[in-house]
């Protein structure tokens, strides 16, 4: 879809905003609202093709309750409806909403429309034809250039989200560690990101024993992917992003159930979102320095695989007792985190990982759990998520939880007993970050869905690409949208 921003009305069918508690200019619509045929709920649509000009009435619920997320959802539904109706041109007039930033409002309209275009159909023989909706005009009455810039920006961010989704949706038989590394190189190098891929021998030379232990059972070679974006050479500041990159997690000898295993190609969801975020950052030429790493491998079963009861070492030299071969993500992340902390010396670290089933028990597929050693950093990040529409919640940490991952015959346990699995997994990672301000995002529930939820599709969601991007761009002090 070609999104245009203009001071004039566009071509084709007009998408008209309707609030449930405010009179609509069209008397027929008011009558339909009264008779409850059309209630103007968020994303409810009603087409009028018989008037002088074609219109699609789009509901937003109560005016006082409108926010950027309801705008995204409504325009996602409008985009889908226009495509179903076979419309090739459409437009909407965006008016200023009391208490909302005009730029952000337009950005949410654009995002909703763009989100309506995602599909993962490469394996379907009889593909549905591409959406007929070719041109959509966002008609503004102010700030044309600002809005144009913001629409261009969100287009690139959503491309990053779609890239993350595509990488995660790809079956593990194709999306191997090698394929993930190649995708990072092919997608990011043309945008000016420096991509380096370390091979098994180099990973061994770095002493990444924990990462290598997980990879041992697989015939696919591990890859350590390093991506550097130097958007602000004048600054010493640098953020590190670390994504979990298990291209398949069978559970190892602590084998998963068939049901649990069937979606475990999503276990590189953190890595996929890392590549998607780097894409958005580089494509928008964000003036920040970011280094991202992914320790990519498979967790498989073979005569050479690691076993329960093993005591392995790590790049940091800390020894780890393997209580479960299925708690493999934290082992790969331990070395990836220690690598960035010591070799790159960033000011801040964010890791993102489909790390624990426990987070789904706590938060379902709705909220990403946060574990941190720096509450202010976490609050800053969570606040950015409130604007992007991605939900985060910080979990408690204390010495009692830390004690749960301490070993008797070695330093650490990869699998703690006694519940609080998401907290103890996060605190295990904390052992490898060298006291640098850090937040851990457990996206096991939010990276991959069994069924669609509004603009988030079934399968990979691309969470948390949008929040990572916005956090990097604004570094938590974004002035846009502060009014809400």
Select 172 or 472, whichever has its Cβ closest to ligand BES. 172
Q: What angle do CA 461, 466, 470 make, to 5 degrees?
A: 170
Whole-angstrom distance, CA of residue 42 vs CA of residue 48: 18
Select 358 or 441, whichever has its Cβ closest to ligand BES. 358
Residue at shortest CB range from ligand BES: 357
Buried b (16+ CB within 10 A) or exposed e, 201-232: eebeebbbbbbbbbbbbbebbbbbbbbbbebe
Closest to 217 in 3D by CA, of 92, 303, 159? 303
Residue 47 Cβ vs Zn ion, minimum distance, rounded to whole Å: 45
User: Would strands 438-442 and 311-312 be described as parallel, antiparallel, or unpaired?
Assistant: unpaired
Span interacting with ligand BES, options 68-76, 181-189, 204-212, 355-363, rule CB under 6 A:
355-363
Asked whether position 365 contacts ligand BES by CB under 6 A, the answer is no
Residue 249 Cβ vs Zn ion, minimum distance, rounded to whole Å: 4
Q: Which of the residues 238, 330, 348, 473 is marked catalytic? A: 330
Residue 421 binds what, of Zn ion, ligand BES, none (CB under 5 to 8 Å, by partner type)?
Answer: ligand BES
What are the residues whose beta carbons fall under 8 Å from the beta carbon of 146, sequence distance 6 or more?
103
3-state SS assignment for residue 231: coil
Q: Which of the residues 4, 256, 318, 394 is marked catalytic? A: 256
Which residues between 84 and 123 bind ligand BES (CB under 6 A)?
Answer: none
Residue 389 Cβ vs ligand BES, minimum distance, rounded to whole Å: 21
Give catalytic status of residue 330 as yes or no: yes
The site that binds ligand BES (CB under 6 A) totals a number of residues, namely: 15
Residue 358 binds what, of ligand BES, Zn ion, none (CB under 5 to 8 Å, by partner type)?
Answer: ligand BES
Whole-angstrom distance, CA of residue 11 vs CA of residue 88: 9
Whole-angstrom distance, CA of residue 179 vs CA of residue 169: 13
Which token pair is 448?
Answer: 């991959």
Select 75 or 448, whichever has its Cβ closest to Zn ion. 448
Select 15 or 334, whichever has its Cβ closest to Zn ion. 334
Residue 439 binds what, of Zn ion, ligand BES, none (CB under 5 to 8 Å, by partner type)?
Answer: none
Whole-angstrom distance, CA of residue 144 vs CA of residue 7: 7
A 10 A CB-CB count for 359 gives 27
Asked whether position 442 contacts ligand BES by CB under 6 A, the answer is no
Select 74 or 443, whichever has its Cβ closest to ligand BES. 443
Whole-angstrom distance, CA of residue 374 vs CA of residue 231: 25
Instruction: Say if residues 388 and 372 touch (Cβ distance below 8 Å).
Output: no
Asked whether position 267 contacts ligand BES by CB under 6 A, the answer is yes
Residue 72 Cβ vs ligand BES, minimum distance, rounded to whole Å: 25
Instruction: Say if residues 426 and 397 touch (Cβ distance below 8 Å).
Output: yes
Q: In which residue are the tokens 């949008």 written?
A: 466
A 10 A CB-CB count for 352 gives 29
Residue 356 binds what, of ligand BES, Zn ion, none (CB under 5 to 8 Å, by partner type)?
Answer: ligand BES
Which token pair is 458?
Answer: 């079934």
Select 105 or 354, whichever has its Cβ closest to ligand BES. 354
The interface mask with ligand BES, positions 202-241, x = CB under 6 A, is: ----------------------------------------
Asked whether position 395 contacts ligand BES by CB under 6 A, the answer is no
- Bond from prior residue into 464 cis (ω within 30 degrees of 0): yes
Indicate which single residue of 222, 329, 389, 426 sits in contact with ligand BES (rule: CB under 6 A): 329
Give catalytic status of residue 307 as yes or no: no
> What is the set of active-site residues?
256, 330
Which spans of this chain sit near ligand BES (rule: CB under 6 A)?
Answer: 249, 267, 324, 326-329, 354-358, 415, 421, 444
């Amino acid at each position: 879809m070609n999104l245009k921003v203009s001071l004039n009305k566009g071509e084709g069918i007009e998408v008209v905003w309707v609030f449930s508690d405010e009179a609509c200019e069209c008397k027929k619509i008011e009558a339909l609202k009264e008779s409850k045929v059309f209630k103007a709920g968020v994303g409810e649509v009603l087409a009028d093709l018989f008037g002088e000009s074609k219109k699609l009435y789009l509901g937003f619920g109560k005016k006082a309750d409108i926010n950027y997320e309801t705008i995204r959802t409504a325009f996602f539904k409008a985009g889908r409806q226009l495509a179903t109706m076979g419309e090739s041109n459409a437009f909407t007039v965006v008016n200023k909403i009391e208490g909302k930033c005009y730029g952000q409002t337009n950005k949410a309209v654009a995002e909703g429309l763009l989100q309506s275009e995602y599909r993962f159909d490469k394996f379907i023989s009889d593909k549905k034809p591409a959406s007929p909706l070719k041109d959509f005009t966002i008609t503004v009455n102010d700030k044309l250039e600002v809005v144009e810039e913001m629409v261009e920006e969100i287009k690139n961010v959503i491309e990053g989200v779609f890239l993350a989704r595509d990488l995660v949706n790809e079956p593990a038989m194709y999306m191997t560690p090698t394929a993930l590394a190649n995708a990072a190189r092919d997608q990011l190098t043309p945008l000016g990101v420096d991509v380096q891929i370390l091979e098994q021998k180099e990973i061994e030379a770095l002493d990444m024993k924990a990462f290598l232990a997980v990879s041992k059972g697989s015939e696919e070679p591990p890859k350590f992917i390093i991506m550097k974006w130097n958007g602000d050479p004048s600054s010493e500041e640098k953020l590190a992003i670390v994504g979990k990159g298990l291209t398949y997690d069978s559970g190892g000898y602590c084998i998963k159930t068939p049901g649990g295993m069937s979606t475990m190609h999503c276990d590189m969801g953190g890595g996929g979102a890392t590549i998607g975020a780097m894409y958005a950052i580089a494509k928008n030429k964000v003036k920040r320095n970011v280094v991202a790493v992914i320790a990519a491998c498979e967790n498989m079963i073979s005569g050479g695989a690691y076993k329960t009861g093993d005591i392995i070492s790590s790049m940091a030299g800390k020894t780890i007792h393997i209580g479960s071969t299925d708690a493999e993500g934290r082992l790969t992340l331990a070395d990836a985190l220690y690598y960035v902390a010591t070799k790159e010396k960033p000011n801040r670290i964010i890791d993102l990982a489909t790390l624990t089933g426990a987070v789904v028990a706590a938060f379902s597929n709705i909220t990403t759990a946060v574990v941190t050693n720096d509450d202010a950093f976490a609050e800053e990040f969570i606040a950015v998520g409130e604007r992007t529409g991605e939900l985060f919640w910080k979990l408690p940490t204390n010495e009692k939880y830390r004690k749960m991952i301490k070993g008797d015959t070695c330093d650490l346990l990869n699998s703690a007993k006694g519940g609080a699995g998401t907290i103890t997994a996060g605190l295990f990672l904390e052992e490898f970050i060298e006291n640098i301000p850090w937040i851990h995002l457990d996206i096991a529930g939010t990276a991959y869905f069994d069924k669609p939820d509004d603009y988030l599709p079934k399968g990979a969601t691309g969470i948390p690409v949008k929040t990572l991007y916005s956090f990097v761009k604004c570094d938590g002090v974004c002035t846009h949208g502060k009014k809400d």
